Chains A and B, each alone.
Chain A
Amino acid sequence: MPFINFSKDEIQCKIVYYGAGFCGKTTNLQYIYTQMGENTKGKMVSIDTRGDRTLFFDFLSLNLGKIRGFDVRVQLYTVPGQVHYDATRKLVLKGVDGVVFVADSLKVQRKKNIESLINLAKNLAEKGVSIRTVPLVLQYNKRDLDETDSEILPVEILEKDLNSMLKVPSFSASALKGAGIFETLREISKLVVKEVSRKIMLVDQQLR
């Protein structure tokens, strides 16, 4: 649900990072936060437990420049990944404009990725949003573990598991080292802004 403010010529959009516990959603936001310039970012807010697990959400606001004379502000949220925090995930998804699904490349997490994607589809559907139409990008995180002893899934398997039906853009990434993080953000922002521009054009026509 983009929020278009004609009095301030500003558009606010909400992008949610979704995925199973410990897949790296917060680390994505932390990396973005450390790399963005002071003028384009707000403060990063995290509500987490002492064990560094997200309890409610992380929140980071970014200014993405202008489209059609409007300042575009995106608000990045993460959800808590643990299964029993489903009520919180539903709250954070309220009014979502785009989703980044972060998948954990570790072999042991294969089942959890699939469960989390199904959970996303279900929670979106409850809000009247279809996973097939919402701007969505997949990110295969922790690819840096390829160089270690950890067993990780090949990208082809992740694609088959998660993207064979959806066929959305996907990126290999390492949130810890930064690879693929901005590529993911750029793609989801592009999809969301495209959708919003379409809506602005409709509204413009209506108001004229």
Chain B
Amino acid sequence: MNIIITREDLKKINFFLDKVVSSSLAHSVLLIDRSGQLIAQYGNNMDIDILSLSALTAANFGATAEIAKILGEEEFTLLFHKGKSENVYFTALGEHVIMVTLFDDKTSLGLIRLRINQIADELSNALVSIFKEKKEIPVLEPQRLS
């Protein structure tokens, strides 16, 4: 499967990410696919190493999914890491995507969770339709290229 994000798709996604940032006072939100690729980013404070963050987030989710399996769960759908001033909240959106919300002490975990819960279903549905549409793109039989 290939993931192709058009400008239209990104507009749709950013609409939701804007909602999260403006209503929860988080400073940035990222969407990442499960293999560690960055899909979209929104907000300020983007001078952090986003590509590494994406790779590590996917790995983090993969590792905790294995912990979940040991405990008889399919996976943990949200993760939270608290630092002295920076915090990060991870939410699984459907089977392909992880939302990463970065926030500091200007807001609270409760508000972040509330706002994300309010838009998670809508955003998941939008993402499902984006991923579904892409599946219709024909891909030729793989061949060895030299």
Contact between chains at A206 and B3 (CB < 8 Å): no
B1 at interface, CB cutoff 8 A: yes
Contact between chains at B55 and A75 (CB < 8 Å): yes
Do A7 and B49 form a contact, CB below 8 Å, given A12-B38, A57-B59, A91-B62?
Answer: no
Q: Which residue of A is nearest B141, CB measured? A: A133
CA distance A157 to B10 in the complex (A): 51
Q: Give the number of A-B contacts (CB < 8 Å).
A: 101
Contact between chains at B63 and A56 (CB < 8 Å): yes
Contact between chains at B137 and A194 (CB < 8 Å): no
Contact between chains at A3 and B3 (CB < 8 Å): yes
Residues of B within 8 A of A4 (CB): 2-5
Interface residues on A, range: 35 or more
Contact between chains at A95 and B55 (CB < 8 Å): no
Residues of A within 8 A of B34 (CB): 94-95
Give the B interface residue count (CB, 8 A): 35
B122-146: CB near A (< 8 Å → 1, else 0) gives 0000000000000001111011111
Contact between chains at B6 and A195 (CB < 8 Å): no
13 residue pairs A–B, Cβ–Cβ below 8 Å: A1-B35, A3-B2, A3-B3, A3-B5, A4-B5, A5-B10, A7-B6, A56-B59, A61-B52, A75-B36, A95-B35, A168-B144, A206-B137
Q: Which residues from chain A sit less than 8 Å from chain B, CB to CB?
A: 1-7, 12, 14, 42-43, 45, 47, 56-57, 59, 61, 73, 75, 77, 87, 91-92, 94-96, 130, 132-135, 168-169, 191, 194-195, 198-199, 202-203, 206-207
